[in-house]
Amino acid sequence: GVRMVAIAHTHDEYYQKMMETYGTWDGCVGVSSTCMEWLESLASDRPCARIVYGVPIAPEPRTASSTGPIRLAYIGRMEEPQKRISRLHDLIRALDERRVPFELHMVGDGSAMKPWRDDLVEPVHGSVLIHGRRSPEWVQNLLRSIDVSILVSDYEGTSITMLESMGAGVVPVVTRVESGVEDWIEDGVNGHFVEIGDIEAMASRLEALASNREALDRMGRAAWATIHERLSIDGMARAYASVFDEVRGRPHVVRPTDTVARLIESDWEQRLDDDAIDWAKGLLEEAGFTSIAIDDEAAGADAVIFQANRGIAERVRTLRERGIGAVVVPGLIDDADAMTRLQRAVIDAVSHGRSRLAIFGLGAHTRRASDVILDGRHPIIGFIDDRATPGAEFLGLPVQTLDRAGDDLDPDCIILSSDAWEAQMWEKTGEMRARGIEVRTLYGTYD
């Protein structure tokens, strides 16, 4: 049979949940010591290795510029979730207030590029050069002329941009994300890190480097030496080959999984509960489960079907942690399901006097909960989506971008419909909350 190796490329709760949910892999790889902390517990007795990306390494470190503006680069996806590129506007402002001469090279593309460019206030003491998407070879050539590589992310696995920059002798100045940074950067020796969101501290570090070119050069050489001693593309390839060989050398175990029956979309109004149970049982048997219990774990059972969708989330989670399949019927949903959460939020908002509800998010989460909108009994007046186009509709209701939703939809309540991006969506709706529009979450609470 085909063997599967899972790779944890980033440290984020959403992706941890994905690795746990689709946990029938035969071996795994993590890209940082932080990723390995949770990955090893999921792996149990399966092969599990830490392998960091191999990157191009210059034959020798570059020499930092001795005069002129300090040359900075942001290289990566132009996105607000995770990458938080709006913070670069704050960094530009902070450097300008300090009268630091600088060049900031923006390399990459993404959905936030146009609004970022539109919101850019040109600095007095620096310049911003937007290059867009470029080839890897072009980026390597650019790095030869760059003094400092910048990241302002909320989270990473191990940043490839950070490693590539260090491999060229460029000083990394990054946010202290939980994963990857402290594996490679010794603050003040081969780079700098600051707390997430502390742009003033980042500007202070850059100001110091701009005024002390000897320290800038020394730190760049230390960054290069760190990567030169520990990483190579060939070394990464050999490490992966070793994992693959270990996986192939072990007996191939096909592990049953209840994944197929967790979020099935189906109209159970036309089915009896017995039909739902029979169908769920069939799915579990096809997946490899052999002893299936109903409503409660029985001796020797390797899967349990629950006939309720309230108050059992903890039992379901505990069973899955023990390797026992667990699904819920009718509807195959539990407390964590999108439809249940959205419906509760809508009903509660209406009970508190809200009469014009807008749903923020048009991803899979909202689509799984479309029955709540199609119900027709709730005062849902439209949707908000970052990529809405003029005249767009979903389920017969208008879709607007966040900046237009307040005036065009005039909601008195916005419900955030996303499990993966809820925290970022909450931050985006700050202006709406300031206008007195209630914003409701489905999963977390935020300041």
91-122: pLDDT as tens digits? 999 999 999 999 999 999 988 899 999 999 99
* Residue 210, φ and ψ in degrees, nearest 5: -65, -30
Is the pLDDT confidence value at 370 over 90?
no
Do strands 48-50 and 27-30 pair parallel, antiparallel, or not at all (unpaired)? parallel
User: Prior bond to 330 cis, omega within 30?
Assistant: yes
Domains of the chain are 5-54+233-248 (no CATH), 70-230 (3.40.50.2000), 259-328 (no CATH), 338-440 (3.40.50.720)
pLDDT of 59 > 70? The answer is yes
Tell me what pLDDT residue 331 has: 47
CA distance 313 to 311: 6
The per-residue pLDDT for 319 is 85
CA–CA distances in Å: residue 227 to residues 11, 149, 445: 21, 15, 40
pTM for the structure as a whole: 0.62
C-beta of residue 332 within 8 angstroms of C-beta of residue 262: yes
Write down the pLDDT at residue 420: 72
The DSSP-derived string for 229-297 is HH--HHHHHHHHHHHHHHHHTS-------SGGGTS----GGGS-HHHHHHHHHHHHHHTT---EEESS-
Mean pLDDT of the chain: 87
Backbone conformation region of residue 407, classed left if phi is above 0, alpha if psi is from -120 to 50, else beta: alpha
Percent of the chain scoring above 90 in pLDDT: 58
pLDDT band at 262 (very low <50, low <70, confident <90, very high): low
CB hemisphere CA count around 106 (13 angstroms): 22
Q: Are 206 and 72 in contact (CB under 8 A)?
A: yes
Q: What is the pLDDT of residues 311-346, one digit of tens each?
A: 676 788 788 878 888 887 754 444 345 667 888 889
- pLDDT tens-digit profile of 374-385? 767 789 999 999
Q: Grade residue 56 by pLDDT with cuts at 50, 70 and 90.
A: very high
Q: Which residues pair with 293 in a beta bridge?
A: 304
Among 26-40, 202-216, 338-352, name the one with the lowest average pLDDT: 338-352
Please report, as a single letter, which amino acid is at residue 330.
Answer: P
Residue from 87, 45, 70, 33 nearest 209 by CA: 70
Evaluate whether 108 touches 81 at the Cβ level (below 8 Å).
no
Q: Using an 8 Å Cβ cutoff, are 331 and 343 in contact?
A: no
What average pLDDT does this structure show over 264-287? 63
Decide if pLDDT at 245 tops 80: yes
Instruction: Find residue 28's DSSP bridge partners.
Output: 6, 48
pLDDT band at residue 270 using 50, 70 and 90 as cut-offs: very low
Structure confidence at residue 259 (pLDDT): 67
pLDDT for 376: 74
- Beta bridge pairs of residue 29: 7, 49
Looking at the chain, the number of H-run helices and the number of E-run strands are 18, 18
pLDDT tens column, 278-320: 878 888 888 788 999 988 888 889 999 887 655 676 788 788 8
Lowest-pLDDT range of 273-287, 320-334, 406-420, 427-441? 320-334
Strands 126-132 and 148-151: unpaired
Task: Say whether pLDDT at 215 is over 90.
Answer: yes
What is the rounded radius of gyration, in angstroms, for the C-alpha atoms of the chain? 26
Question: Token match 């005036």: residue?
Answer: 407
pLDDT tens-digit map of 153-211: 998 989 999 999 999 999 999 999 999 999 999 999 999 999 999 999 999 999 999 99
